[in-house]
Amino acid sequence: MDDLINYYSFSKEEWKHFYNEIDLPLTQNGLRHIKAFNDRISIQDVSDIFKPLVHMIRLQKDNFDQWQTIKARFLHKRVRTVPFIIGISGSVAVGKSTTARVLEELLTNYFTGENIKLITTDGFLYSNAELKQRGIYDKKGFPESYNMAKLITFLNSVKSGVPVVQSPVYSHQSYDIIPNRFDIIDRPDVLIVEGINTLQLPSNEQIYVSDFTDFSIYMDADEQLIEKWYLERFGRLMDTAFQDPHNYYYKYAIGDRNEAFNMAKNVWETIDLPNLKANILPTRSRADMIMHKTENHIIDRLYLRKY
Ligand SMILES: Nc1ncnc2c1ncn2[C@@H]1O[C@H](COP(=O)(O)OP(=O)(O)OP(=O)(O)O)[C@@H](O)[C@H]1O
Ligand SMILES: CC(C)(CO)[C@@H](O)C(=O)NCCC(=O)O
């Protein structure tokens, strides 16, 4: 990683001193919200890593807003608020959605009066029926399993200021797209887009998801650790969500536990790990920031793109 010549590399100790004078509103309420969706998260990490990060994004967004205004005036166009889009990418189970939710919570508190929204690109997967028809049901998460044209049209509509844009919804409960269910995105100030494919180059499109993102983060960790987190999460879900008879994995929750873990390990080894190696990790060097995580999800190093 230190071979990345166009990145500054910071230990957490170094990073946490940047802009530490800002008062990040980690209110009791905000803390409660974060703990509610993940009670194992290190609040010290949230403070050390996200305080400078949120401040840096503020500076970058101010600069972005200013440039959009200057550009519109130059072109004799109406000045309007253009949504600032943050992409978060990385392996399955590395912690993208957890990071995205922390960022959403902090930006909502810190960017007073601004509308912060979060979506996941899971909603742009083809449905299970469509994946089966295309013969790629065992390739869920691979580039070809996403309707990238639809995702790009979505991002273009959001950027263009279309008032009501539909973002389709994926359910981990049914392990499928929910038909006719959408999140509505209505001209947000900031949109966080979380998904393994936010830095990928679609083979059949002329434009990329990254053409629409103004700041991108890649969550990085050793693959053995990510596998451990994948299996730990599976274990927790076995005791909770999978207990619901409507859950896709219900039969494993009520069956032999070893068999269930063998199945999960097999999914990791045959789908998610090969996808990480072939399609996700190679996109790391496109990110504006790489966050490296170690044991217990602690972020130990940050890489920030120089140019
Ligand atoms: N900072 C953290 N502290 C403690 N646990 C964490 C942290 N970040 C993530 N986790 C845990 O690691 C697991 C994977 O995290 P998460 O679900 O956010 O990953 P993801 O990258 O969004 O996965 P997927 O691509 O499958 O949606 C979860 O069990 C989550 O609770
Ligand atoms: C929905 C994705 C692709 C990404 O979040 C992932 O969680 C997934 O379901 N991967 C397929 C293999 C698996 O079940 O882990």
pLDDT at 18: 86
Domain containing residue 182: CATH number = 3.40.50.300
**Percent helix, strand and coil across the chain, each to the nearest 5:** 50, 20, 30
pLDDT at 252: 95
Ligand nearest 141 Cα, by number?
2
pLDDT at 2: 58
- Compute the distance between CA of residue 136 and CA of residue 98 in angstroms, rounded to an integer: 28
Whether residue 99 contacts residue 219, with contact meaning beta carbons closer than 8 Å, is answered with yes
User: E strands, 101-175, where?
Assistant: 116-120, 165-171
Ligand nearest 230 Cα, by number?
1
209 is in an annotated binding site: no
pLDDT at 26: 66
CB-ligand 2 contact for 196 (6 Å cutoff)? yes
pLDDT at 23: 62
Overall number of domains in the chain: 1
pLDDT at 195: 97
Q: Which two tokens stand for residue 259?
A: 């068999």
- Note whether residue 102 is domain-resident: yes
DSSP of 144-165 = GGB-HHHHHHHHHHHHHT-S-E
Question: Atom 7 of ligand 2 has which residue's CA nearest to it?
Answer: 92
Rg of the chain taking only CA atoms, in angstroms: 20
Query: Does ipTM come in above 0.90?
Result: yes
Question: Atom 3 of ligand 1 has which residue's CA nearest to it?
Answer: 41
Among candidates 273, 294, 155, 162, which has minimal Cα distance to 216? 155
Residue in the structure block whose two tokens are 């994948």: 230
- Note whether residue 232 is domain-resident: yes
96 is in an annotated binding site: yes
Residues of the chain below pLDDT 50: none
Pocket test for ligand 2, best of 91, 120, 137, 140 (most atoms within 8 A of CB): 140
pLDDT at 36: 79
CB-ligand 1 contact for 98 (6 Å cutoff)? yes
Among candidates 163, 166, 192, which has minimal Cα distance to 177? 166
Q: Which two tokens stand for residue 199?
A: 């830095």
pLDDT at 228: 98
CB-ligand 2 contact for 231 (6 Å cutoff)? no
- Note whether residue 39 is domain-resident: yes
Question: Atom 11 of ligand 2 has which residue's CA nearest to it?
Answer: 140
- Note whether residue 107 is domain-resident: yes
- Compute the distance between CA of residue 281 and CA of residue 119 in angstroms, rounded to an integer: 22
- Note whether residue 242 is domain-resident: yes
Q: How far is the CA of 10 from the centre of ligand 2 (A)?
A: 31
Among candidates 108, 127, 86, which has minimal Cα distance to 219? 86
- Compute the distance between CA of residue 244 and CA of residue 258 in angstroms, rounded to an integer: 19
- Note whether residue 1 is domain-resident: no
pLDDT at 126: 98
93 is in an annotated binding site: yes
- Note whether residue 130 is domain-resident: yes
Pocket test for ligand 1, best of 89, 192, 229 (most atoms within 8 A of CB): 229
Q: Which two tokens stand for residue 140?
A: 């869920």
Say whether pTM exceeds 0.90: yes
Among candidates 234, 198, 228, which has minimal Cα distance to 88? 198
Whether residue 41 contacts residue 106, with contact meaning beta carbons closer than 8 Å, is answered with no
- Note whether residue 175 is domain-resident: yes
Range of the domain at 25: 7-305
Q: How is the beta sheet containing 84-90 ordered, strand by strand? A: 7-11, 298-305, 289-294, 215-220, 84-90, 190-194, 116-120
